[in-house]
Structure 1
């Protein structure tokens, strides 16, 4: 039996050896693993918490100087949690990496829906995955690697955000092609933590949305905040949004949610000019990209409608963007040029489920 070693030392650059036969199981040395818990993961934040603004999740609308100061501090630090620019370049030019990301994203969305995890958990999972892949390339001959990475990123995100976290082996829902033992997942979690320098308390667009909505609408409703979360979450399905900072995505979502149609374009422009801490031209570009995404999605939704008349076709750009949350299949709505390849791979392997075991068990 071939052995597979996940090298988790902080100084190591290689996490997969070359002696794995895909027809065999993965064997991982189970000794010497470092224990950690939710509190350990949450101790990396260094932002002063003025007002009621949490670092990762939703903030209450804040308009005082303390809120502005805290937002300014978060804007200064948000790039620390952004995937590298070279990663986006690789996704744009490489079908293999784009297909892997879509495959991981597809499973993460389905698993979060199954476990009723919130939007922040999905966003954190994708952030961890993208940041990991910024500095680590998955080998093309290890079909199980992306699934192990997806499970580990979701497990870490759930520990950060969810009140109840299932056992790591129970996270693996949705008929995945590979099933991993708990110790294999924990080993991979440690590798992700090391690659990300244990910086898991991420500044996300959710960190800013209450602030920006409060600036624009003054007293946003809970429904408004909920809809904004769907807009923000949908950006994880389009790799081009990796080009934007969290604050820029949040500001664009707040404006998109507050104004629609040409008649309100003047008000939207005025609202944009009132937002400090963000570059207006960047937010405007992100806002346009949200509109372009809604146009592409609307074509897909309309194409599905004749087959299922019970599925309404959204009329507004916001409705179109939100409609994508009704489906957790990335191959139904194409994002990127390689989604069809991913779907083909999934179909050809739909009946194969390998259980990944551990040495010494």
Structure 2
């Protein structure tokens, strides 16, 4: 298998640093930053960058406290946008993993050794994202659920061992909540809980039609409903984390079907330790259904999208063109349920981590 290499930016360029050569004073312009404004090797402490938004690959993250990494993964309608990771060492030094942004046809994942130590928890923050209120229209017609297409494509899915993994692992139990506001498909919070529960179980139980037994040790547990919301804003950027792993729905930028934001503690030599992972479905621009029927038109299956996002939560990355039958394919299909069931590569990815 080909190892997926992380992209590292090493030069401190542009005009982030002011003064004579070797000066340790950093000045940043107002507004959103790019990875060129806050290049790898710069210091979030000297630059006063904690809490600022850094963008790349049409995605963005809020710079966390030292000793924390934050990752954004976007599921888009055309697969053109993926995400990236910004990591801040205990001493404030910035590094990036941009490998997710160049997903094509990777065939393996790998642990990327870290150099950070003495991680610290970021301060809690209650997200103030407005509640979503858009209810999706119901399917019409005879109400017969569309036949699961997995059987028709299982040979391809079960014969495709492609996968990538992120520098992220849930070492304990992923405790998650249902957030405030509207839910995808117009579901009640209770019904959404069961749809999300099923999607997360598809990952933790290695649910597949390929004959693979469940040897994955990943664990998850639903805790409760909460007034907190996913720490993801309408631009599909990761905001400051509030300490709760929340699944909800609301406004994301057009083109983004769903977004996962993950915060980790860097772990030297092994995968980073997951501390929080939030998921938001874009109900502002797209319709969802929990049961695609024969009359389904231009709606995304909640459990297919949810299973894909749960894959990101537990450390799976995207696979690109040529791997359309895998759950972690870089974009989603409307009215299809294939992503509910893992393919060979999806299972191998989980086994490589857990």
- TM bucket (normalised to shorter chain) is under 0.3
Higher relative contact order (CA 8 A, sep 6+): 1
Q: What TM-score, normalized to structure 1?
A: 0.24
Larger Rg belongs to: 1
Q: Pick the structure with more helix per residue.
A: 1
